[in-house]
Every structure is written in structure tokens, then in C-alpha cells.
Amino acid sequence: MNSPSGETSQTLDRGLTVLSLLATHSDGLTAAELAEALSTARAVVYRLLRTLEAHRLIGRVNTRYVLGIGIAELASKLRPRLQATVLPILRRLSEETNSTTLLSIADGDQALILLTEEPTRSFFHLALRQGARHPLDVGADGLAILAGRPAAPDDGDDVKLARRRGYALTAGALQNGAIGIAAPIKSSDWATASIGVVQLGVEVADPHLPELVTEAAAEAARRLSGDFTTDPDAQA
């Protein structure tokens, strides 16, 4: 896990790394496997696991540790902030691109469409249902989230390409005739959300769309991190 400059807590860093490792293994990991991944003594890992378990951030299934209900509770508190922060950015991006825009979040192994904005000047566009779900590895929004995470052995070619590009592009993945472009919101090295654009009835995406989408996602990440030095018009 990348650390910012300055002093950091090694114990906290290890604990957060444990959560990241468990997030990439839906069937869980044993204490021995975690110790090997962390290059740390098993006794140290057991202390970390007991602490995380006490806060319900992890749980245990037989000898394997998995993410706990506390993670979902924390995530549920993030949603209102995501909505308030990202909605103005979605509106602006929708008007700039004359396209439907969306904010998606990871919910387990699925992408959940949390917010959508439709262009006001378009006579023909795709309407997306807020609350709709689909697999993370299908659709530009989910692929972008996966690409915003550290590389994993089971990453598909689409995820690897999106990670190199900084955005995901799909054609007809969720809707025939639709092109989707999405970029991860990276407020840490573990993306949980993405911003995307969907266009209907076009054969090739506008070459300017990737830049606009990645800029919107980067602005959302800055604002979620507390940096409000960007254009104040985004708050309109």
C-alpha cells in the first residue's frame, strides 16, 4: 500500500493492508496466508486480526478471515457524501458531453448505479435506472472500479487495458448500441466508485470523452479527499 510522505503508523498500515487483501479474496484468507503476504510474524497478524474483528471490520468462517459487516456500515455512511459531492460534477459532465452520466459504486462483486444525470439538450439519449446492478467485470463503470485497484492475478484483459489507459471503454456491454466510458474515483489506492458517460446510437466514441471523464473522476477524488481548490463552479 502506498503511503504519503511523512511519518506513518506501521500497525495501522498493516491493518489496512489486511483489509485490502481480504477485499481481493472473496473466499477469505487464513492467518498463515496473511502473514506470508505481509512478510510478518504470525503472532503480529493474530493481534491485527483480533483488533479488526473486535471492530467488526472482519469476520471468521472456520479458519478463514473475510471482510465484516462493519465495512458495509462504513460504506453506507459514505454514500450521502458521494452523492452531495459528485452530483454537481455529473451535471456538468452531462452538459459538456450531451450524454447520460453516472456514478457507480462497488457493492460486493457488483456495480451499483448510485446516481445518474441526463442531458437537457438531447432528444435521444439512454436513460439509466438508479439502483440498477450488474457484475463489476461487465460494463465500463465496473471495469473502471476494478482498474482503480492494485493488480490482481485474476484481472481480465479489459481490466488490465483500463488500468493502463486510466479509463474503461466498452461497446454494447450492457445495452446494444451504447458506448460507455468510465474512470475510477481514486481517493485511495483501492477504488470503490467510478464516474462514467454513456452514449447511444454512436459507432465511435468522441475522442475527447476519455479526457473529460478522467478529469471529472479526478475532481471528484480531490473533493472527497477535502481539496476544494478546484473550480468553484463545480459546486453549482
Contact 143, 182 (CB under 8 A): yes
- pLDDT digits over 212-236, tens only? 999 999 999 999 887 544 443 444 3
In 3D space, the residue among 154, 148, 216 whose CA is nearest the CA of residue 26 turns out to be 154
In 3D space, the residue among 47, 195, 40 whose CA is nearest the CA of residue 115 turns out to be 195
Count of residues making up the chain: 236
| The three cell numbers locating residue 27 | 473466499
Q: Tell me whether residue 64 is exposed, middle or buried, using C-beta atoms within 10 angstroms of its C-beta: 0 to 12, 13 to 18, 19 or more.
A: middle
Structural domains present in the chain: 10-67 (1.10.10.10), 73-235 (3.30.450.40)
Secondary structure of 189-231 as H, E, C letters: CCCCEEEEEEEECCCCCCCCHHHHHHHHHHHHHHHHCCCCCCC
Distance from C-alpha of 40 to C-alpha of 17, rounded to nearest angstrom? 12
- pLDDT digits over 53-78, tens only? 999 889 998 899 998 888 777 767 77
Secondary structure of residue 4 in the 3-state scheme: coil
- pLDDT digits over 99-115, tens only? 999 999 888 788 989 89
- pLDDT score at 233: 45
Torsion-angle region of 6 (φ positive above 0: left; ψ -120 to 50: alpha; else: beta) = left
Which residues, other chains included, contact 118 with Cβ-Cβ below 8 Å and sequence gap of 6+? 94, 100, 125, 127
Q: What is the mean pLDDT of residues 169-185?
A: 89
Q: Buried b vs exposed e over 190-228: b needs ≥16 C-beta within 10 Å?
A: bbbbbbbbbbbeeeebbeebbebbbbbbbbbbbbbeeee
- pLDDT digits over 126-175, tens only? 667 788 899 999 999 999 999 998 888 889 999 999 999 999 999 988 88
